[in-house]
Structure 1
Amino acid sequence: MTLSLPRTALSVAELDELDHDGVVRFVRFLEDSGHRMVWIPEVAGREAFTTAALVLASTGRLVVGNGVARALERVPKSAASAARDLAAGYPGRYVLGLGASGAARERGMGPLPFLRNYLDEIDATLERRGGKSSDVPRVLGAYSSGITRLAAERADGLITFLVTPEHTRWARETIGSELFLSVVQWAVVGRDRAAAREVARKRLAYYLTLPHQLAKLARLGFTEADLAPPGSDRLVDALVAYGTPEQVREAVRRQYDAGATQVALSLVGPLDDAKLDAYRALTELEN
């Protein structure tokens, strides 16, 4: 299927910091502010599908995607059943996103064959439940050429994260002109360059410990010196937009120009009043 999703979205890492009631208040704030879609990363403890269900139940119109659920953390039957029920319960409002890192090799195969087999088992589960693969819109988190091509073959699109417009251009050339491509763009709003770099490095520190992220960034041309913690100015400036809302919008436009179907902003930094103001200020990107 061809995915028809909002042209802009948010990627909301803040949910990891919030309790149940905090999540409800926050996502209702985003919806009331005019945002139309959120992707939920699975990073620091929140379970992908129960969190998606909470956000869907707490809002009336917000489109919710798992961006992405870690395939290694659950068997395909569980992922397929959860995704099917969310898609059926909230028609047009749910997208399954899946990803796998190099840790798949600990199970005897690389990420590409692992994800291929995983999708086979998801489709088989959906068929056993009387459905078909098209019942659940799905995207893959993809950086390598193999998984990017798998997304074109077996999914409705792909979602990328911590990438430059050059990577977005390569991904578009790889998958062709029609497939959905969402790019998660980090941003720090309302701070000067030095302060923005400091905020960004706090979040980037975790990703500079992950072999698959380091390999991806090396393929994008960053050197060992760039990737050594806490990350060079060159690395941070290439990956993170900062400044006024208009400066952030310019970074978003560069991703669109490179071939993104959708750009999902991920605002970096603590969830304080200034950040809430930034979410309000960026709402016009949705229009």
Structure 2
Amino acid sequence: MEKQEVSVKEVLEIFIRYPIYDIDNAEVNNKIQKLIDNLGKSEKICKNYSVISKTIYSLNEIDFANLKIFFGIESEDHFSQFSNSSPLGSKGKDNLQHFWRHVVLSCYQRQYIDSITKDVNENVSKASEIMENIEVELNKANDNIETVGKKFKTVTQKANQAENKVNGIYSEFVGILGVFTALSFALMGSVQVFGNILKNIDTPTMGNIGYVLIVGGIYLILIYLIIMTLFIGMKKVFDNKNSKYKFNWIFTLCIVTVSITLIILGIRLV
């Protein structure tokens, strides 16, 4: 089997080199004619289809093109001319006809395979280009999405800042109203109380002054508690975590100290 395969290769290589030579050279034509005559006598080579196909499929592009020229696929059929000129009998020419037919068939099959392969490669190349374009577009889309996301985040932050400012303005405004309201209630109450106390005092004595100091100390604490209660109540209404409406313990200590001092002085004077 290996010997037949080598023989087929040798025969086809001679046919491949024929278009390179001078086809009008009588010596070359005589050698080709003798080769074809001997080929017609070898039925095993002429009808060894698998080896012929395998050999043709493994040819490079240049050798394959020369082989097609010799067998008349794309030009004049030189093989048939030599075959018709052969003195072989019917069996020998039948062997040559089988050999020619299978070589031509294998050439057409290879052309078809090459065409399919070329189309597949072109389609793969186009598909690769399309995928690359899609990837580029996806990258652009992702970049645009990231840009929009950053802008949206910036707008959201600015909106939150604006909302915080508005809430702060509302809080401060209500706080101011609360301060004036608390002071108004406290002052009206304290003025009325002190007015009633002083109204009942005809002649100021140390006891009366002490009594006034005791009442003043108590009302000082009450006024402070009322004002801070209003502030803390506003904090609960707005539920603002940044609100600073809470007891200032240092100031509260000062108020309590002053109130206690007034009460103690008042008690001593009484």
Do they fold alike, i.e. is TM over 0.5? no
Question: Over alpha carbons, which structure has the higher Rg?
Answer: 2
Output the TM-score relative to the length of structure 2: 0.21
Which has more strand, going by share of residues? 1
Which has more helix, going by share of residues? 2
